[in-house]
Amino acid sequence: MPVKAIVAKVDQQNGVMVIITADRQFRCLPLPDAVPSIGTTIELHLQAEKMTVRGLLNTK
């Protein structure tokens, strides 16, 4: 499910950025090719929650 996020920090040296998502997550993500600037609103597809993934793997 897509989620909106604000870019809160860009660390070009380590190739990562910190984002704050609309569902109140702070996440560290690898920088995309087009590096966004701080304050940019982006939309991304975050990995499904661990339990959901595990549930899918364990389902026969």
For residue 35, the minimal CB distance to other proteins (Å) is: 15
Binding mask 10-49 for other proteins (x = CB under 8 A): --------x-xxxxxxxxx--------xxx---------x
For residue 26, the minimal CB distance to other proteins (Å) is: 4
Q: What is the 3-state secondary structure (H, E, C) of the chain?
A: CEEEEEEEEEECCCCEEEEEECCCCEEEEECCCCCCCCCCEEEEECCCCHHHHHHHHHCC
Interface residues toward other proteins, by CB under 8 A: 4, 6, 8-9, 18, 20-28, 37-39, 49-51
